[in-house]
């Protein structure tokens, strides 16, 4: 499959993957080094905790805006601008140790993180849209490949950053790795191809609100939020939960890497399955089950009659990584496919819209997850608190399974028929164009446009069913089942064919 990629596609995938990797390194640098520096400046845990939280909140707010105007800004400009902004802010963040005074330090920390979040959101939204544009037949696979590089970046960032910190102190890891990201951004200017929107009427696509009215997109969105909440939950509570084992700093760091590494390794496999072998919501249901099992083992769950065991916790983290890979990879391609099936144009504008929605909802879950985790951990302990994530994923999994069983018939391309037009007018290329609107009785019922040319009229009704080969069988037999409309319609069809 990947062997069939063109040179342009390979360059696009390589450039974005490297940028994703470098971006993840810079984004993950703050957590190991910033809290200690903030405490030296007199900042409380609540203050520097908000510095981390504001990042996700800004991404949540700004990503849909980027997605909506991506086709006007241009994905390459948004991509390059986002990377350069993130790299520059990473360098500036490394200079905060030079700031004297409690309030100047905190204020500058907030300003830098807000601007960095705006750059990060721009980069992610543009990269997902470019992937959807360049790889229309392998969206899930290529998206998963990007997530693999991003996952490895999250692993490498603290590791390399720690080594640089020991060599040169607080400033060194931020300046070195931020400069590397900036250099990557410069290279993309010359390598990344320019993408234009092929749509002639991009203003008709609709916005985030319209997309969220589609049940399938709403289910995919809920899956993204639940998954990112589970990740944030562990980030906030896993270290206190593991203190009972008195692990060394190196082993403790490896515990945090387990689910991320599993996610990075298995994401391409889930992408391949979603592209070639199964409906994305099948992966969503499987991911929900795996996350439920994983969190039940990490605690372990209150209904498991044993105390916390290290090997069980490790197993739970691995299973959780496998589950979150399934959900995150499936949700993007599912939302994109479903929105197009429900009438959104297959254009760059739609790609940007869904990319912004994915980035935004992931950030929302990443913001809510640690907040809820801290409150639950303080009041009911880790084992009981972890059941919140289990119940949440159980709800999403059941909803996706119900939707999958009854609501996933693929919609054919359609055009609308208006009350002012005669529904028996031939719907052919020589007659009214397919982009024209034909509406029957003001009901807005869609009429498939890929039927044989001889069958030039159809009274659309709610009982219409397009079973396998129905049009072909009708052409051969000259008869039409009652589900295709009234007796009068049948007679008219027989005369015209």
316/398 same-domain check: yes
Residue 296 within a domain? yes
Which tens digits make up the pLDDT trace of 282-291? Answer: 888 999 999 9
CB-based contact 158:99 (threshold 8 Å): no
d(CA 215, CA 69): 24
Instruction: State pLDDT tens for residues 45-95.
Output: 677 777 877 888 888 888 888 888 887 888 888 888 888 898 899 899 989
The candidate with the shortest Cα–Cα distance to 266, out of 223, 219, 312, 319, is 319
| Domain final residue pick, 406, 429, 462 | 406
Residue 34 forms part of a structural domain? yes
d(CA 156, CA 22): 9
Longest Cα pair distance anywhere in the chain, in angstroms? 88
Residue 460: band (very low, low, confident or very high) from pLDDT cuts 50, 70, 90: very low
Residues 6 or more apart whose Cβ sits within 8 Å of residue 142: 13, 131, 134, 135, 271
Looking at the structure, tell me whether residues 287 and 181 fall in a common domain: no
How many structural domains is the chain composed of? 2
Q: What is the token pair recorded at 135?
A: 């790889």
CA count, 13 A, side-chain hemisphere, 276: 11
**Confidence grade of residue 430 (pLDDT, cut at 50, 70, 90):** very low
Comparing CA positions, the residue from 309, 444, 486, 323 lying closest to residue 383 is: 309
Specify the CATH number for the domain of residue 37. Answer: 1.20.1250.20
| Pair 413, 449: CB distance under 8 Å | yes
Mean pLDDT for the stretch of residues 139-165: 77
* Whether residues 135 and 218 fall in one domain: no
* pTM tops 0.85, yes or no: no
Q: What is the span of the domain harbouring residue 181?
A: 1-193
Residues 143 and 220 in one domain: no
Q: What is the pLDDT of residues 195-223, one digit of tens each?
A: 665 543 444 455 778 888 888 888 888 99
- Do 280 and 381 sit in the same domain of this protein? yes
Q: Sort 354 into a burial class: Cβ within 10 Å, 0-12 / 13-18 / 19+.
A: buried
């Amino acid at each position: 499959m990947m062997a069939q990629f063109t040179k342009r596609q390979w360059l696009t995938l390589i450039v974005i993957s490297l940028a994703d990797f470098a971006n993840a390194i810079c984004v993950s640098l703050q957590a190991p080094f910033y809290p200690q520096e903030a405490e030296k400046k007199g900042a409380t845990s609540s203050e520097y905790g908000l510095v981390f939280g504001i990042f996700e909140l800004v991404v949540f707010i700004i990503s849909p805006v980027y997605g909506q105007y991506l086709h006007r800004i241009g994905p390459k400009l948004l991509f390059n601008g986002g990377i350069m902004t993130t790299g520059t802010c990473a360098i500036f963040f490394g200079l905060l140790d030079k700031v004297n005074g409690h309030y100047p330090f905190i204020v500058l920390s907030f300003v830098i993180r807000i601007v960095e979040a705006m750059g990060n959101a721009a980069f992610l939204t543009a990269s997902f849209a470019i992937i959807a544009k360049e790889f229309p037949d392998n969206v899930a696979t290529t998206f998963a490949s990007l997530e693999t590089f991003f996952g490895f970046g999250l692993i490498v960032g603290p590791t390399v950053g720690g080594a640089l910190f020991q060599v040169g102190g607080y400033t060194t890891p931020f300046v070195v790795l931020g400069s590397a990201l900036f250099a990557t951004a410069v290279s993309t200017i010359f390598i990344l191809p320019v993408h234009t929107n092929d749509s002639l009427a991009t203003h008709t696509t609709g916005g985030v609100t319209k997309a969220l009215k589609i049940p399938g997109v709403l289910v995919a969105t809920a899956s993204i939020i639940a998954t990112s909440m589970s990740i944030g939950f562990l980030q906030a509570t896993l270290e206190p939960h593991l203190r009972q084992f008195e692990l060394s700093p190196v082993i403790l760091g490896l515990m945090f890497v387990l689910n991320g590494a599993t996610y990075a390794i298995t994401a391409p496999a889930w992408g391949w399955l979603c592209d070639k072998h199964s409906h994305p919501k099948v992966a969503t249901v499987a991911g929900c089950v795996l996350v439920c099992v994983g969190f039940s083992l990490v605690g372990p769950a209150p209904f498991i009659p044993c105390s916390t065991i290290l090997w069980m916790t490790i197993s739970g983290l691995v299973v959780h990584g496998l589950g979150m890979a399934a959900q995150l990879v499936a949700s993007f391609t599912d939302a994109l496919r479903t929105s197009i099936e429900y009438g959104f144009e297959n254009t760059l504008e739609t790609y940007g819209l869904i990319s912004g929605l994915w980035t935004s909802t992931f950030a929302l879950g990443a913001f809510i997850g640690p907040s809820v985790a801290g409150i639950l951990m303080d009041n009911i302990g880790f084992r009981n608190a972890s059941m919140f994530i289990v119940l949440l994923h159980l709800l999403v999994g059941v909803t996706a399974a119900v939707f999958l069983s009854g609501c996933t018939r693929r919609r054919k391309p359609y055009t609308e028929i208006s009350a002012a037009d005669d529904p028996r007018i031939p719907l052919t290329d020589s007659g009214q164009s397919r982009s024209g609107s034909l509406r029957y009785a003001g009901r807005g019922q869609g009429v498939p446009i890929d039927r044989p040319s001889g069958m030039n009229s159809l009274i659309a009704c709610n009982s219409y069913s397009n079973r396998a080969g129905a049009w072909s069988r009708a052409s051969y037999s000259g008869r039409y089942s009652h589900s295709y409309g009234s007796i009068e319609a049948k007679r008219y069809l027989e005369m015209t064919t």
